[in-house]
Amino acid sequence: MTAGNIKGALLALLAMGIYSTHDVIIKLLGETYPALQILFFSALLSFPPLAVLLLRDPTHGTLRPRNPFWVGLRSICIVGSGVGGFYAFSTLPMAQVYSILFAAPLLVTVLSVPLLGERVGLHRWAAVVAGLCGVLVVLRPGMTPLGLGHLAALMGATATALSAIAVRKLGRSERTVILLLWPMIGNFLLTGASLSFAYRPMLAGDLALTGVIAVLGLAAGFLLILAYQAGEAANVAPMQYSQMLWAIGFGWLLFDERPDAMTLLGAGLIIGSGLYILMRERTGSSRLRPVTEARLRSETVTAPRPSLLGRLWRRD
């Protein structure tokens, strides 16, 4: 492995540790406050630094999208990914949430066939089936009670997959400011409306922690930009699965969570299938490479897609 690839992998590992810390704070606050309230204030406090970046957008035009359907679908999916993820982390063990969210690249592979015209070979289909079986092993329907947290995590994974498909459809046809701003507007409308139904006054320290969530999401995104500048995507992308190690460690130390054998087995199937698909796309003939394009963790308004941040940062 070259020095650049080693540097890229290490930067990605650090980014994933920061993302996991981002999720730990969500879980800590979720013990006291509604998940949508946490998401609202985290997104609100992430807006000032994002606004500075949005002013760097070199392209001119209105905020009206050229492709309203795909921009709207992507915005809805990012909001759904945030709502699902924040609620799941608030109610489920971290390792279980990550296991379900890791299914997103598998769903991208499935959806890429009807929506992108991607050709998926037998080997990748077998990996998808194995990974989805891993999701069932984690959930164990009929053996353990399934709650709203499990449904929220599944919603988050599905929304992440659809968002990745929408990004592929849009390419660079839309201004970066539109791709970042529209999901934030949708999030403010939904989570802001939820405050009228479920709101709990926040201590100053807890409110500050929602700001920390915003800072960590952006910091991890910029570290990933540096990681992909330093190393090849095929070497950097698998580092996302290191979040499972962070989840086990944080869960053990902070929340007295002990992942059982079935959760670990299911997570192993999901991670193994995801890595196999990445390997096949690295050596195969696919030009679209849908899973590689969706290689990162769930995109939310508090953790925007690093490729979009990179466009603004480099002014390209």
* pLDDT at 314 exceeding the cut of 90: no
- Asked if 37 and 188 touch (Cβ cutoff 8 Å), the reply is no
Would you say 65 and 185 are in contact if contact means Cβ atoms under 8 Å apart?
Answer: no
Assign 151 a pLDDT band (cuts: 50, 70, 90): very high
Residue 32: what pLDDT?
A: 94
pLDDT of residue 286: 47
Token output for 104? 């997103």
Is the model's pLDDT at 92 over the cut of 70?
yes
What pLDDT is attached to residue 53?
77
Q: How far apart are CA 237 and CA 242, in angstroms?
A: 10
Q: Indicate the pLDDT class of residue 315, thresholds 50, 70 and 90.
A: low
pTM equals 0.88
User: Most confidently modeled of 102-106, 144-148, 214-218, 297-301?
Assistant: 214-218
Q: Which amino acid is at 32?
A: T
d(CA 3, CA 6) in angstroms, rounded, equals 5
Checking if the pLDDT of 38 tops 70, the result is yes
* Closest alpha carbon to 223 in 236, 214, 211, 212: 236
Structure tokens at 230: 């330093």
Asked if the model's pLDDT at residue 279 lies above 80, the reply is: no
The answer to whether 54 and 180 are in contact (CB under 8 A) is yes
What six digits make up the tokens of 312? Answer: 């603004």
Between CA 271 and CA 259 the distance in angstroms is 16
pLDDT of residue 112: 83
Per-residue pLDDT at 292 exceeds 60: no
Which two three-digit tokens encode residue 176? 């970066």
Among 42-46, 103-107, 118-122, 165-169, name the one with the lowest average pLDDT.
118-122
Phi then psi for 227, rounded to 5 degrees? -65, -45
Q: Where are the alpha helices (DSSP H) in the chain?
A: 3-30, 35-54, 68-91, 94-101, 104-116, 122-139, 148-170, 176-194, 204-230, 233-236, 243-254, 261-283, 290-293, 306-314
The mean-pLDDT minimum among 209-218, 238-247, 286-295 falls in 286-295
Q: Is the pLDDT of residue 222 over 70?
A: yes
